[in-house]
Amino acid sequence: MTASPRLAIVYSMRDTAGSGAARALRELVDAEKATCPPPAEECWILGNDVYLAGYDEETLYFTWLDKSPDPSADAVIVLSRHSASSGKPSLTTHHTGNPTSDSSYGGEPYTLSFSAPPLSRTLLRNYREAAEKRGLLEKYVVTLEATHHGPTSNRKPLVFIEIGSTPEEWKDEKAQESMAEAVVSVLEHGIDTGCRRAAGFGETHYPAKFTELHLDSEYCFGHIIPKYAFQKGITDDVIKQAIFKTWPGPAEAAVIRKKSIKSKHRQFVIDVVGSLSNVEVLIL
């Protein structure tokens, strides 16, 4: 089953990967200069009345996405770079939020944004296909990331699609083209909504099992609260946000990675989710 919600696409003009992918996107589709609400610095309108806008700010601080570029949009795709000390080349999608008290990279502590599991799933599948076509999978890993960084205050669901992890990859035109093609495929063919929306608990920042399920099973993932967040300390409200701040409806499943988090943390999730109605608990 596919759906075609109204989308907006945004990027930071300071971001080599995001602005490069935006340029590639404009080359793939008819793009006409347009005017978007401030603080947009650059704006185009694509087919199906989709707005593409650039801002002179880092994406972590895009707090205005309910109003700009398109107040009528149902969800927003953020084209971005990904940084990692490992330097591992990666093509990723993820949702934003701060599961712990740490809000060093934008957003509020203990606050998650609204996620969009079917959109993330469709984007990552398209991304994998576009990268494979360009021979990038020998270099890049295609993966979800755990929930991290801002913004957290927008009411519209956001999905970040990223190129990581160093300036060498950010300026890789084939990677930028793959990102652009992944987005165009969503615009042309819609979002695959035939999956069970899930929140993930456990695993590392690059959750291999959740990525596998996200790409190739009935489950699609919104927020992923990793092992290190439990070690720092999360609240029951964060678990509830991971379930309820999900679009187009609450998560239908809570998937727990048994071996990656302590038994007391597993039980914490089970107890909180058990107090909710109509949410499956799956322990893997």
Q: What mean pLDDT comes out for the span 2-7?
A: 87
| pLDDT-derived band at 133, boundaries 50, 70, 90 | very high
Q: What mean pLDDT comes out for the span 177-191?
A: 97
Q: Give me the percent of the chain exceeding a pLDDT of 90.
A: 94
- pLDDT surpassing 80 at residue 170: yes
Query: In terms of DSSP H, where are the helices of the chain?
Result: 16-28, 117-133, 167-170, 173-189, 208-216, 227-232, 236-244, 263-274
- pLDDT surpassing 90 at residue 4: no
Please tell me the predicted confidence (pLDDT) of residue 188: 94
Q: Which CATH number fits domain 2-191: 3.40.50.720, 3.40.630.50, 3.40.605.10, 2.40.50.100?
A: 3.40.630.50
In the chain, ranges of CATH 3.40.630.50 domains: 2-191
Q: State the average pLDDT for the chain.
A: 96
Q: Are residues 134 and 178 in contact, defined by beta-carbon separation less than 8 angstroms?
A: yes
Largest CA distance in the chain: 55
Residues 17-63: pLDDT tens digits? 999 999 999 999 989 999 999 999 999 999 879 999 999 999 999 99
- Alpha-carbon span 22 to 104, nearest angstrom: 27
Please tell me the predicted confidence (pLDDT) of residue 33: 96
In the chain, ranges of CATH 3.40.50.10700 domains: 196-283
Decide: helix, strand or coil at residue 247. Answer: coil
Q: Are residues 82 and 165 in contact, defined by beta-carbon separation less than 8 angstroms?
A: yes
Cα torsion 129, 177, 75, 151 to 10°: value is 110
Q: Are residues 127 and 179 in contact, defined by beta-carbon separation less than 8 angstroms?
A: yes
Residues 60-116: pLDDT tens digits? 999 999 999 999 999 999 999 998 888 899 999 999 999 999 999 999 999 999 999
Q: What mean pLDDT comes out for the span 187-203?
A: 95
CATH number of 196-283: 3.40.50.10700
Please tell me the predicted confidence (pLDDT) of residue 3: 78
Q: Specify whether the backbone of 96 is left (phi greater than 0), alpha (psi in -120 to 50) or beta.
A: beta
